[in-house]
Structure 1
Amino acid sequence: MTATLPKRALGPFSVSAIGLGCMNLSHGYQPRPEAEAAERLLLHALDRGVTFFDTAALYGFGANETLIGRALGHRRKDFVLASKCALGEINGKRGLDGSAAAITQTLDEALIRLRTDVIDLYYLHRLDPKVPMEESVGALSRAVEAGKIRTIGLSEVSAETIRAVHAIHPVTAVQTEYSPWTRNVELAVLDCCEELGIGFIAFSPLARGLLAGSVGTAGFQQGDLRAAMPRFQEPHLTRNLGLYDQMAGLARAADCTPAQLCLAWLLSKRDFVVPIPGTTNIDHLDEILDTLSLTISEVVFDQVDALFAFGAVSGPRYSKEAQSQIGTEIWEGEPLAS
């Protein structure tokens, strides 16, 4: 029997207050699970009451969408499906193409891989600076008219961009990294979303695993994208693991795990925030979802705020190349890779 979790509104959709980010089942982090294990985890999430699953054409260059279609396609009516375009495979490598032709082709291929006639929420994974915004958004708008997608979203953009796109076509959700150690959206994006009635999806809500206790000083396996991120390189990594130790202390005092404290903190920020943690482990998934049954004091959340005040985290968020595709506002004095 399928369980029920607390819900949050996401435009026209009502989704579980915590969704599932599916990237690391096929892409980004190492090690990755075998296909059968990944399918079991997806089905377990659905049975536990998760009704929001997030993927992208980029993840495994289509492999993640194929996985979701294979594992969950027969229960398509039971969940809200989100995917993304513009970032994907170009000549065998990661590339950015926000042209109307590329978006249309990516969407048509995604529908086949996902074994569905319609995607509920379809994001521009990144805004392509080489393509007029009106062209990219226009392609998504026409896809809505054609019944291929229900709503559109944006990822890693500024409040100014959100307003500009929303004026062309209503935006249902904005997705950006948000956790205690990455709080850029508090500068303007969250206020903008609240004003316009747009939902907010928090990706990497556990600081890419560091605030869940899954990152140590030994480094990463080959192919793990975190190895190229400055915050996971020395001397920054050791300093940031010190923050995790303090976060773990706050969690022990609150009788929860660090991952649960991260998610509860996020859920307390705004009632339209939906975190989408990822995991390859069913026990960890259960731990994550059990957050929704916890009661944690605002005093503890204030302690998390203080621990992760601006300047506490060591190192730039992204490499110079990756940062060049990010439109989200930056803090005055925020370290950027050179």
Structure 2
Amino acid sequence: MTPKSLTIAEIAASIGARAEGKTELRVIRAAEPHTAGPEDLALAMDPKYAGGLEKGQARAAVIWDGADHRTLGLEAAIYISRPRLAMAGIARVFDPGPEIAPGIHPMSVIDPTAEIGEGAAIGPFVTIGAGVKIGKGAQIASHVSIAEYAQIGADALLLQGVRICHRVTIGERFIAHPGVVIGADGFSYVTPEKSGVEQIRDTLGERKDFREQTWSRIASLGGVEIGDDVEIGANACVDRGTVRATRIGSGSKLDNMVHVGHNVQVGRDCLLCGQVGIAGSSVIGDRTVLGGQCGVSDNISVGSDVIAGGASKIFTNVPAGRVILGSPAVKMDTQIEINKAVRRLPRFMAKMEAFQKSLSAGKTGDGSESA
């Protein structure tokens, strides 16, 4: 694919920024300042990158408010105040997206009862089941399967190997990265009598007996409902509900290898980072952020606007707005104090040992104090 050529003025207008200098100058890609060539747009959005501009050959760059592009040796510049926000816009401008030919590839299999929206692009080895509804402008890459009666809104992007199971409902502008599975059965099993796990939950540690037990599967009768503007990373899994649907609110983003268990309710505009696991029937409020490798126990509630630091393990309900960290998760400032105390333990123990030795040295063999 030939790189797209854009003027500095066009890029600035697309991200709502100010451009100065030779704004008709054309660039074809974004680059780091020290490697940028004459046709690149250097990303020098902080004063610490000014030295990189001297090493590179960029004629134009994105620079911080208050800088002067002329003194930096540039012919044109885009001035920004919030680098990461600007980066989002610039990446969107230059992102070519997947190359999926318009129309339906002849090597795909689509049930005649499926409804495919106008302008869809469907690659090879795609299978679409009975009664499926796909909105207009959908892009579906190779080896995607969409099972019977699933519904997907307009402008969806499903990348290689995505699996959408039966009776899943998804809103508009959905993005699923390779290997995503939406709507597999939940992990639900039961034993004829109370299992060892149930006993431990009741006793918090004491196991009454040990006996043979077999697990009976509880089928997942519910579905999965996903709102608009949701993005799900590679190899993430969202299980269907047991009776009610598992839900993910509009605007939420799930990173690679996130697992959302059966019946879980995730609110709007949440961020679930890599390897987060949420056990069945838990509720996550709006705008909540769970750092990488966070674990959420089953049947608990995490309020809106909660931020959980990486690797936190959440075993109890968390009120709205709290910042938590640790295992078990507690208020972040409390966990920081715990961490400090743990680091001090070796010195504390050494002092205790020295104190005990001094006490022993001050005693005679029969236990009386020496003179």
TM range (shorter): under 0.3
- Of structures 1 and 2, the one with the larger relative CO (CA 8 A, separation 6+) is 1
Structure with greater proportional strand content: 2
Structure having the higher Rg: 2
